[in-house]
Structure 1
Amino acid sequence: MTLDRKRRRVQSGKFSDIVDHFRSGDVLVYNDTKVIPARLLGSKQSGGKVEVFLVRRLVGEHEDWVCLTKCSKTPRPGTQLLLGNGELEGEVLEGGEPPFRHVRFHCRSAFGEVLERVGRIPLPPYIRRDDEDLDRDRYQTVFASSQGAVAAPTAGLHFTEPILAALREKGVRIVPVTLHVGLGTFFPVRTENLLEHQMHGEVFTVPETTAEEVNRARREGRRVVALGTTTTRTLEYSVDDQGRLLPGQGVTDLFIYPGFEFRIVDALVTNFHLPQSTLLVLVSAFAGRDFVLEAYRQAVREGYRFFSYGDCMLIA
């Protein structure tokens, strides 16, 4: 589905038609994050099953992570965990605001290697089945190269190498950023006052070559197209007072809601999002709430699919 913000026009088509909506000189920015097998199953050393969900790695020399834990009783600091058939040990540390816990992991070989062996792919909760080997490929975008996400940047799932080749042939520049998608992206808005909602921080990187490409396009009046809401948040967080994209890395908790002034992004490719999600709020800020809801009503009538493996729209 394509949404023309100026003409307030909505059109339907096949995803492969998206190439026709790009112009020579456009810059398409994608998120190259890769989903890690973030679910770890095991038990507390004292007994009782436990599931540990990796959310974000903490900066430091140890393998310390912000995690969610699922067990009969919330593990206290000092609790020892045996995970992945004993290949991985964890210790609950002080720190972490509920429901999050800080956990330090120990293993005999490299943590990433062990995680690949014993971790489970964190499928969205509405997919009511255990993960399978096939999900390690299916729940990744063609761009996935930088490990660290606990959920896929799902707008990127639509793109294939032939479509990317067609875009390049048309003269579209395609460049990466990284935002390791965390649970904060998907936590629903539960406050009555939208401004009171707090996003959880997510780690991002803007390469210097990407900043140069985007800034050159902005100077020359060419469009910057963000592939996904995570890319949008990364770009709009990393802009200076003169509207220039800054290279670098850090943690962003940017919450984009109606009234936000977009400084970098001219067009957005994104999936259809659920009510009360920060993703739908961002899209409403970009295209206007009434226009977005009008498009969503048409999408429902025409049988478009929502959720992570659903359909998508281009808003320009």
Structure 2
Amino acid sequence: MDTKHIRISDYNYPLPDERIAKFPLAQRDHSKLLIYKKGVVSEDTFCNLPGYLPKGALMVFNNTKVIQARMHFRKESAKDGQLGALIEIFLLEPAEPNDYELMFQSYSHCAWYCLVGNLKKWKSEPLQRTITVKDVPVTIKASRGEVHGTSHRIDFDWDNERVSFAEIIDAIGELPIPPYLNRETQESDKTTYQTVYSKIKGSVAAPTAGLHFTPEVLARLDEQGVDREELTLHVGAGTFKPVKSEEIEGHEMHTEYIAVRRQTLEKLLQHNCQAIAVGTTSVRTLESLYYMGCKVLHNPDIKEDQLHVRQWEPYGEFQPNTSGVSLKHSESFIASPQESIKALLDWLDRNHLPTLHSSTQIIIAPGYDYKIVKMLVTNFHQPQSTLLLLVSAFVHGDWHKIYDYALAHDFRFLSYGDSSLLIP
């Protein structure tokens, strides 16, 4: 299959607004669970998921935590007594420092690449507002910098050296729920739009397949003998970016940042590099690891930033080897998953690193050959989306059967909707 020439219109289906879940169920694990197993579709309740998983399997979760990434400032009005224009600043990714952990520990100053709402009303003057953090007033100033693709660099400065940026956004920020919910963020979203195992701040959207898990379901997984591991992929706003081109070759995938501990790579090897992925973000991370390992095999001295997986690399883009000679696809990615993951572990050892930090722009669509993910827990995705392409690739084009069943049996769709277990 020529993946680049897939027509996105072939991945459309009718999704009435009333089928989009605006709020989650009161009990997370009481959502419906569709089971697709080798072409056969059935249903159950999510709390019974562990019973469908093989004993001794490895299940991988994305432990990213959604940040309160939407910030609002008002311009100073030239007229007394009138409010100035409302400017929205939406945090996308760190600029200075460019490490997520260091960013949230910043004091006095930091910078982000951001989307800016009502940009035409913001000329060049800094914006500022005063908030209260730990019972102390703090004035934060936002200044516009250079354009960075479709985003802008925004520098933030605040006048209290004892207040971190993490505390700033907790006080000033708003949780960015998906735009298709067509409602304002509510206080309840601060809890319901986070997984119960979220730990590492950085996402602007939740890894929503994980929203169904409860401590009780996690305990049942342990009882079932399912091994659990976590990795981190910070979900970017690009996850909602629609495919506007007729063929997916014209769609540019967003870059997302990942962190995978040495322990997780070791667990993958122990499980023969076969995993059950919770959510498409875990899929994108696990599958990207294979290509990163192949890069290491071709160049053992490769730098961390060169491990980035480009959008079309799995489909035939050239791969440089140690001598800089371009290799054909067939020569580039011929390692087994075990060889690839072992190469990443050896690379971490040589560089004295406990955790792999990198990024991926991978697009997974029909024609893609899955390397590591053997089972997938995922929600129901938007029509004509890259996530639907990922699902179609996983079930070998049988996505219509799954979505037709879900539509006919009152399943709830998208972020706060129901879930599925896919076993191709």
For normalisation by structure 1, the TM-score amounts to 0.92
| Corresponding residue number in structure 1 for 2:51 | 20
- Contact kept? 2:233, 2:256, Cα under 8 Å: yes
Match of 2:413 in 1: 306
Alignment of 1:245-284 (within 5 A): 245=341, 246=344, 248-284=356-392
What do the CA deviations read for 1:64-96 (whole angstroms, capped 9, x no partner)?
Answer: 2111111160646x5412256573211111131
SS state of the match for residue 244, structure 2? Answer: coil
Between 1:225-234 and 1:52-61, the stretch displaced more is 52-61
Question: Aligned residue for 1:82?
Answer: 128
Higher relative contact order (CA 8 A, sep 6+): 2
Please tell me whether the aligned partners of residues 153 and 228 of structure 1 are also in contact (alpha carbons under 8 angstroms): yes
**CA distance in 1: counterparts of 2:373 and 2:130, whole angstroms:** 42
- State the secondary structure of the residue aligned to 1:273: coil
C-alpha spacing 1:83/1:199, structure 2 compared with 1 (3 Å): farther
1:113 aligns with 2:167: yes
Shift of 1:157: 0.3
Going by fraction, where is helix more abundant, 1 or 2? 2
Letter in 2 for 1:281: L
Q: Which one-letter code corresponds to 1:131 in the other structure?
A: T
- What SS is found at the alignment partner of 1:164? helix
User: Aligned-pair distance for 1:101?
Assistant: 1.2
Partner of residue 68, structure 2 = 37
Instruction: Please tell me the root mean square deviation across aligned C-alpha atoms, in Å.
Output: 1.8
User: Equivalents in 2 of 1:40, 1:96: separation in Å?
Assistant: 19
| Partner secondary structure for residue 130 of structure 1 | coil
Task: Look up the SS of the partner of 1:238 in the other structure.
Answer: helix
Task: Give yes or no for the alignment of 1:58 onto 2:166.
Answer: no
- The 3 A distance-change label for structure 1 pair 204 and 155 is same
Which one of 57, 73, 76 corresponds to residue 120 of structure 2?
73
**Conserved? CA contact 2:111–2:154, under 8 Å:** yes
Deviation at 1:303, TM superposition (A): 0.5
Contact 1:40–1:84 (Cα < 8 Å) also in 2: no
The whole-number CA distance in structure 2 between the counterparts of 1:59 and 1:292 is 42
- Asked whether the 8 Å contact 1:24–1:170 carries over to 2, the reply is yes
Counterpart mapping for 1:1-316 below 5 A: 1-5=34-38, 8-44=39-75, 47-58=84-95, 60=97, 63-71=110-118, 73=120, 75=122, 78-83=124-129, 85=131, 87-98=139-150, 100-107=151-158, 108=160, 109-218=163-272, 223-239=274-290, 240-241=293-294, 242=335, 243=337, 244-245=340-341, 246=344, 248-289=356-397, 291-316=398-423
What amino acid sits opposite 2:391 in the alignment? V
Instruction: Tell me how far apart the structure 1 counterparts of residues 194 and 206 of structure 2 sit (CA, whole Å).
Output: 6
**1:20/1:191 Cα in 2 relative to 1: closer, same or farther (>3 Å)?**
same
Deviations 1:85-114 (A, max 9, x none): 57321111113112x111111122211111
Partner of 2:349: none
The amino acid across from 1:287 in the alignment is V
Question: Is contact 1:48-1:72 (8 Å) kept?
Answer: no
Q: Is the 8 A contact 1:87 1:114 kept in 2?
A: no
CA distance in 1 between counterparts of 2:227 and 2:196 reads 16
Contact 2:61-2:277 within 8 A present in 1 as well: yes
Aligned residue pairs, count: 308
Cα separation, 1, equivalents of 2:278 and 2:200: 16
Q: How far has the Cα of 1:215 moved from its partner? A: 1.5
Percent same amino acid among aligned pairs?
Answer: 37
Deviation at 1:44, TM superposition (A): 3.5
Offset of 1:134 from its aligned partner?
2.0
For 2:154 and 2:121, the matched residues in 1 are separated by 13
Whole-Å separation in 2 of the counterparts to 1:74 and 1:314: 47
Q: Which runs of 5+ in 2 are unaligned?
A: 1-33, 78-83, 99-108, 132-137, 295-334, 345-354
Q: Secondary structure at the match of 1:82?
A: strand
Alpha-carbon separation, structure 2, partners of 1:164 and 1:2: 19
Contact 2:68 2:173 in 1 (8 A): yes
Residues of 2 paired with 1:261 and 1:182: CA distance?
24
Higher Cα Rg: structure 1 or 2? 2
Q: Where has structure 1 moved over 4 Å in runs of 4 or more? A: 83-86
Amino acid aligned to 2:392: S
Offset of residue 295 of structure 1: 1.2
* 1:73 partner SS: helix
The alpha-carbon deviation at position 28 of structure 1 amounts to 0.4
Structure 1: runs of 5 or more not aligned: none
The 8 Å contact of residues 66 and 204 in structure 2, kept in 1 or not, is answered as yes
What is the rounded CA distance, in whole Å, between the counterparts of 1:128 and 1:156 in structure 2?
A: 22
Greater Cα shift, 162-171 or 126-135: 126-135
Shift of 1:45: 5.2
